[in-house]
C-alpha cells in the first residue's frame, strides 16, 4: 500500500516539473511563408503518391481477378466449342463431273487425288487438272465452273477464283449469286461475269476472254474493258495493246466445255426443257418451225430413265425419235419441226 502511494506521488511530481519547463520555454520561430508553402506542397505530393500506390494496388487486384474470370470463361467456351480456336474449313463448291487425273492441295502441297462426283472443295484449296483431265464444279455461291486440261485454280473467299494456268469456263445459269458475281483473278487482270457464259484462258503472255452469253468485264489497274456476246477480248500486261475479234458461240472452240458438261437427268422432264438445255449448252438458239411444233414439245413428257450426255451428239436425235418432232442444225440454230408423215 505504501509502495503504491509512493509511485503515484512520483508521477505527479514529474508532470509538475514538465509543466514548469514549458512555461519557461520560448516559442519556436515560424518559417517564412514561402518555406512553409514548399513544405506543405512536398507533404501533399508524398500523400498523393502513397494514396496512388494504394489505388493502383486495388485496381490491379480487381483486374487480376477479372482476367482470371475471363480466362476461365474462355477456357470453358473453347472446351465446349473448339471450333472457335480451330474453325471448320469453309466448303465453297462440289465436284459435278470429272475425267482423268486431278491434283488437290493438302497443307499447301499438291497431291494426286481420287476425286468423284459429290466431293466438296474448301476455301483456299487448289485444284489442278492433268493433261488428260477435266472437271466440272458447282459453286455454292451460284453457277458452275469447268476446267480444261492442264489448268490450275484456287478457291478464294465467296465468289472469287484465282486462275493460275489453263482455261476456266463459267456459266451463271441465271443464278442469283448471293455472294456477288463471280470474279476470276488472273496475272493479267480480274474477270467479272454479268450474267453470262464465258471462257477465260491464260498463257504465259496473255489472257483471252471468250463470251458466249451476257457480258464480261476485265479490269486491269484503273482500266476496265467490256466483252459482249460473240466476242473474244485478248489482253497482255498493263500498257500492252488490247485486241478484239468476233467468234462463234458454238463449234470447236467450245467443244471441251461440252465434253465435261454435267449430264442432265431426263426422266419426267418436258421435251422442251431438254431442247432448251441442249441449245444453251451448245451455244445455239432454239427455234420451232411452227406453233404446232412448239406445242408438241411443251406437252411431251420424257419417261426414259437416265441422263443426256452432250458428248454423244446423237442424244438429241434419240430423244426426238419417240416424238412427232425432228431437228436439224442450221448454223447457230437448232431448228425443230413436225416430222412429215
Angle between helices 271-282 and 291-299 (to 10 degrees): 110
Strands (E), 259-340: 264-265, 285-288, 307-308, 325-330, 333-338
Question: d(Cα 83, Cα 100) in Å, to the nearest integer?
Answer: 35
Per-residue pLDDT at 174: 61
Percent of the chain exceeding pLDDT 90 equals 47
Kindly report the pTM of this predicted structure: 0.71
Per-residue pLDDT at 276: 94
**Per-residue pLDDT band at 260 (split at 50, 70, 90):** very high
Q: Are 214 and 171 in contact (CB under 8 A)?
A: no
Q: How far is the CA of 257 from the CAs of 25, 85, 149, 214, in angstroms?
A: 117, 41, 11, 17
Q: Who's near 32: CB < 8 A, 6+ residues apart? A: none
How many C-beta neighbours within 10 Å does residue 152 have? 18
Question: d(Cα 48, Cα 155) in Å, to the nearest integer?
Answer: 62
Q: Who's near 182: CB < 8 A, 6+ residues apart? A: 139, 141, 143, 145, 159, 160, 161, 170, 172, 192, 193
β partners of residue 208: 201, 234
What burial class does residue 319 get, using C-beta atoms within 10 Å of its C-beta: 0-12 exposed, 13-18 middle, 19+ buried? buried
Residue 261 has pLDDT above 50, yes or no: yes
Per-residue pLDDT at 222: 85
Give tens-digit pLDDT for 291-309.
999 999 999 999 888 888 8
Listing DSSP states for 64-104 in one string gives: HHHHHHHHHHHHHHHHH-GGGTSPPPPEEEEEEEEES-EEE
Per-residue pLDDT at 321: 85
Mean pLDDT, range 165-180, rounded to an integer: 76
Q: Are 208 and 189 in contact (CB under 8 A)?
A: no
β partners of residue 338: 325
Give tens-digit pLDDT for 180-200.
589 999 999 999 988 889 999
Question: d(Cα 260, Cα 257) in Å, to the nearest integer?
Answer: 6
Per-residue pLDDT at 305: 83
Give tens-digit pLDDT for 311-326.
766 668 888 888 999 9
Instruction: Give the cell for residue 131.
Output: 493433261
β partners of residue 335: 287, 328
Mean pLDDT of the chain: 80
Give tens-digit pLDDT for 134-165.
999 999 888 999 999 999 999 998 789 999 99
Instruction: Give the cell for residue 220.
Output: 486491269
Which is more confident, 38 or 245?
Answer: 245
Residue 9 has pLDDT above 90, yes or no: no
Per-residue pLDDT at 22: 47
Question: d(Cα 215, Cα 217) in Å, to the nearest integer?
Answer: 7
What's CA 308's distance to the chain center, in Å?
33
Residue 169 has pLDDT above 90, yes or no: yes
Least-confidence region, from 81-85, 126-130, 134-138: 81-85
Amino acid at each position: 500500500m505504501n509502495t503504491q502511494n509512493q509511485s503515484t506521488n512520483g508521477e505527479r511530481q514529474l508532470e509538475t516539473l514538465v509543466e514548469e519547463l514549458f512555461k519557461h520555454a520560448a516559442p519556436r520561430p515560424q518559417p517564412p511563408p514561402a518555406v512553409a508553402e514548399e513544405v506543405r506542397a512536398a507533404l501533399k505530393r508524398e500523400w498523393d503518391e502513397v494514396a496512388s500506390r494504394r489505388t493502383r494496388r486495388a485496381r490491379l487486384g480487381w483486374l487480376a481477378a477479372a482476367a482470371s474470370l475471363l480466362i476461365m470463361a474462355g477456357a470453358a467456351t473453347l472446351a465446349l466449342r473448339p471450333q472457335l480456336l480451330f474453325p471448320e474449313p469453309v466448303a465453297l463448291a462440289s465436284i459435278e463431273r470429272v475425267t482423268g487425273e486431278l491434283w488437290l492441295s493438302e497443307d499447301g502441297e499438291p497431291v494426286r487425288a481420287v476425286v468423284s462426283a459429290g466431293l466438296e472443295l474448301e476455301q483456299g484449296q487448289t485444284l489442278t487438272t492433268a493433261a488428260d483431265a477435266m472437271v466440272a464444279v458447282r459453286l455454292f455461291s451460284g453457277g458452275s465452273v469447268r476446267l480444261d486440261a492442264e489448268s490450275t485454280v484456287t478457291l478464294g473467299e465467296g465468289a472469287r477464283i484465282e486462275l493460275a494456268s489453263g482455261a476456266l469456263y463459267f456459266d451463271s445459269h441465271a443464278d442469283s449469286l448471293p455472294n456477288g458475281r463471280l470474279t476470276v483473278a488472273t496475272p493479267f487482270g480480274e474477270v467479272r461475269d454479268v450474267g453470262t457464259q464465258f471462257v477465260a484462258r491464260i498463257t504465259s503472255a496473255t489472257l483471252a476472254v471468250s463470251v458466249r452469253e451476257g457480258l464480261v468485264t476485265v479490269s486491269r489497274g484503273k482500266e476496265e474493258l467490256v466483252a459482249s456476246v460473240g466476242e473474244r477480248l485478248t489482253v497482255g500486261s498493263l500498257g500492252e495493246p488490247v485486241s478484239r475479234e468476233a467468234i462463234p458461240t458454238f463449234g470447236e472452240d467450245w467443244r471441251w466445255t461440252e465434253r465435261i458438261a454435267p449430264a442432265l437427268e431426263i426422266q419426267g422432264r418436258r421435251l422442251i426443257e431438254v431442247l432448251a438445255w441442249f441449245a444453251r449448252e451448245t451455244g445455239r438458239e432454239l427455234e420451232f418451225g411452227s406453233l404446232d411444233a412448239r406445242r408438241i414439245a411443251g406437252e411431251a413428257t420424257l419417261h426414259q430413265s437416265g441422263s443426256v450426255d452432250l458428248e454423244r451428239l446423237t442424244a438429241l436425235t434419240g430423244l426426238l425419235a419417240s416424238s412427232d418432232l425432228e431437228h436439224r442444225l442450221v448454223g447457230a440454230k437448232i431448228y425443230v419441226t413436225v416430222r412429215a408423215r
